[in-house]
Structures are given as C-alpha cells and as structure tokens.
Copies of this chain bind each other. A is one copy, B any other.
Amino acid sequence: MSVHQVTVSAPVNIAVVKYWGKRDTALLLPTNSSLSLTLSQDDLRSTTTVRIDPKFEADRLWLNGKEEDVTSNKRMVNVVRELRALRKSLQDADSALPVIDSWRMHVCSENNFPTAAGLASSASGFAALTFGIAQALDIAERIPRAQLSRLARLGSGSACRSLFGGFVAWNMGSAADGNDSVAEQVADESHWADMEALILVASDARKDTPSTAGMQLTVETSALLQSRIKDVVPKRMEEMRAAIAAKDYDAFAELTMKDSNQFHAVCLDTFPPISYMNDVSRAVVHLITSYNALFTQPGAAGGPKKGYRAAYTFDAGPNAVLYVRREHVAEVLAIVNAVFPVPTTDREAYLGRAAQYVGKEDVAGVASLVKKIGMAPFAAGSLRRIISTSVGDGPRVLGWGAENSLLGENGLPKTTA
C-alpha cells in the first residue's frame, strides 16, 4: 500500500474539576490535575482525515475548510514530530514495518459545531489530529493509549482527556519531561449510563480572554490560585473519583458546581480580572441553585446535600453545561425553557435533539416549580441554542481510504470555506 489514509472523529470533553494554569508552558504541564466527562460524538465532534503519501511535497493542514500555515503552528509541529519519531522507533525495532515516517501528510479537520456555539474546539481538534495521524502511521494500536494522550496534550492541554470515553482524569504528574502528565479513564461511558448533558449556549457580544493567555495571567497574578492548587484540588480529585465510582450524584453535583465556581473565582482574582460568566450565566446559576433548593436536604456531617437534580459547570465562556440524570432532563429543560423562552422561529435549530424531551415533562409540576423559583423570564435570544447530549466513547475510526474522507482523491479537501 503506497498511501495510508484514515478518517477519525474525536469527542469534546467538559471538565468537572477544572484545568486552569500551566507549570510548563512549552510542555503544557498543568498546575493541577483535572477530571472531565467525554461527550457523545453523535452530537459534538471533530472529524479529521489524514493521508500520508510519498508523493506529497509538504505537510499541509486545513481547519474548517481553510488552509493553515502548518509550520507556524508550533504545537501542531510538536505533535507531528513526536508521532513520526514514535513511528521511526517502531520501524527501527521491527524491520518488517514499512518506512513511512518520512512521508509528508495532508490533514483536513472540521468540527460539526460552529465556533460561534462558544464551545472550545481545541480539545476535540487536537485529539482527532493526534489519533488520526497515529492511525495513518499505524502506531495507534501499537502503543498505550496514554502515550497518545501525552502527545495530544502537547497540542492542547485538555485534548489529552479527549483520547478516552466516559469519565477521564488528567493526572498532573511530577516528571520534568511531562511523561507522567497523561489522562486515564476513570470509568467508561457505560458505567453511569443515565448521565446526560444539556449545554445552554449563551449569547455574548463580548470577546472572551483566550484561555491560553488567561490561565497564565492567573498563574502570575492570582494570590488565591496556589491555595486552590495545593489545598483544594488534590482532595477534590479524590472525592470526585469516589463520587463517580459510587455513582453518587449528590456528591458529583456539589463538587462539580463548587469547582466551576472556584475556577471562575480565581479568574476574578487575576489582575486584571477575567470574567467569563455574564448576566445570563449568573441567572442560570441562580435558576439551578433555586431549583435544587426545592429538593435538597442537608447531608450527613460534612457531606453534600441530598437530592440535587442538576449540576452546572462553566468553562472559559458564558455557556452553561448542565449534567443531569436522564430521569430529570425533561424537567430541567422545561424549567430552563420557562426562564429562557424557546424562540418561536428557528425552534428546531434552537432545541436540536433536546426537542425529544419537550412534552415529556409533568407540565403542572413544572409550573409549580417555576412559580416557587420565581424568576422573571428573560428576553428571547438570551440563549442562542440548547445542545442535548450524553456521555460518550473515545475517538473513533470512521473509515479507511475514501470512506467518510474529508480529502478527495487528489489529496485536497473536498470542501473549502
């Protein structure tokens, strides 16, 4: 075979113990461990086709239909170089393996969610890239997945978590070369099968501080970050692992919300301060807090309250991700829709797959809850859309050769922007 071509997809992940701050900005080594849930690629994914071909003259990269200067993207260069080096070491050890590490490659990648959705695409993007190149070089199944996770980390820190499905911990590690700073699967996607996610995409005209710059400003200027790193996260990681192992939603929900709050607290303690949450985000927090309060009772001494129905978490932007058990999704969605009315036009695009839950709720019960919560409805358009999804698997091979390929026979993208 003189050409190796593969098309893969990789998932988005949303952390419940947040990554914010690097101790090494070249190797992308974090100041604390983190833990995320991998979201289903049926709903959100980066798709990447990689072709290596002895006839190609140079590496080329297209992202969302637009060619990028591959040499100026240092992180991309690092990932590709390391993958080729891995291939070479395998070739050197086994003369039966064809010598393909020197072949140039064409990489074409796209996200099925618009950047305007406000979802970070670097994690799924670099996971797909790393997984795709590793498959094209025929090394993905010859090395531990943790190795691929390490390489994806060199592209984008949180990408290392998107190499696994289910519940994924990124252990910060301690080695200077970062070899132990990799993700591991805490539980697979079937472990807690009724865990769903609702993403409330908030409208926001303000341009956010990019997370790469923002997190280092926090490392440099926040007086409180060190306390989070040393005093809070190590314990929280253990508690979150235990909550997931036990499928203890109350513990999971409370830890998730507290960690989101604290991430945004250290952003605010940065100088100049960074604010990712806006008034719509604050209203979602208030809504979920008030809703949960209708059901929760004090837990055992020191433990979380009992009876949580929804847990919010916010990444570096105003969008809320709600982790909700399937039995409560219809109710949570109905309550969200009561405060953030579904637009009468574009209803289908706004709700997407969430439409399946509309009409499934106890309408009288929801009306009573909404009345108790007592929030005035926001103007239509405060939310831009709702994405309903679940916990899903790790990267997938979608096909070899022409199957599902983003590249045409000529090795160029089938579609360009």
Q: Which residues of A contact B (CB under 8 A)?
A: 205-206, 223-224, 226-228, 231-232, 254, 257-258, 261-262, 264-266, 268-273, 275, 277-279, 282, 285-286, 289, 376
Contacts and interface: CB of A to CB of B under 8 A. Distances in A.
A282 B271 contact: no
Contact of A224 (B227, B270, B277, B278): B227
Nearest to A232: B223
Nearest to A260: B273
Given A265-B266, A285-B275, A228 B223 contact: yes
Given A223-B231, A223-B232, A282 B275 contact: yes
Q: Which of A271, A273, A277, A286 has the most chain B CB atoms inside 10 A of its CB?
A: A273
Given A257-B271, A268-B268, A279-B279, A224 B285 contact: no
A279 B266 CA distance: 18
A271 B308 CA distance: 14
A228 B268 CA distance: 14
A217 to B, nearest CB: 12
14 contacts: A206-B286, A223-B228, A223-B262, A224-B228, A227-B231, A261-B269, A261-B271, A262-B269, A264-B268, A265-B265, A273-B289, A275-B277, A278-B279, A279-B279
A290 B8 CA distance: 43
Contacts of A277: 275
A383 B164 CA distance: 48
Given A224-B227, A228-B223, A262-B223, A282 B278 contact: yes
B271 A258 contact: yes
A381 to B, nearest CB: 15
Contacts of A254: 271
A339 to B, nearest CB: 13
A376 B206 CA distance: 10
Nearest to A257: B271
A289 B270 CA distance: 12
A285 B209 CA distance: 14
Q: Which of A224, A279, A285, A286 has the most chain B CB atoms inside 10 A of its CB?
A: A224
Given A224-B228, A224-B265, 6 more contacts: A205-B376, A223-B228, A224-B262, A257-B272, A261-B269, A272-B285
Contacts of A226: 227
Nearest to A268: B265
A134 B275 CA distance: 46
Q: Which of A257, A262, A376 has the most chain B CB atoms inside 10 A of its CB?
A: A262
Nearest to A271: B258
Nearest to A288: B272
Nearest to A236: B223
A282 B258 CA distance: 22
Contacts of A264: 268
A131 to B, nearest CB: 36
Nearest to A227: B227
A141 B266 CA distance: 47
Nearest to A270: B261
Contacts of A206: 286
A35 to B, nearest CB: 17
Contacts of A279: 278-279
A261 B272 CA distance: 9
Nearest to A258: B271
Contacts of A270: 261
Contacts of A282: 275, 278
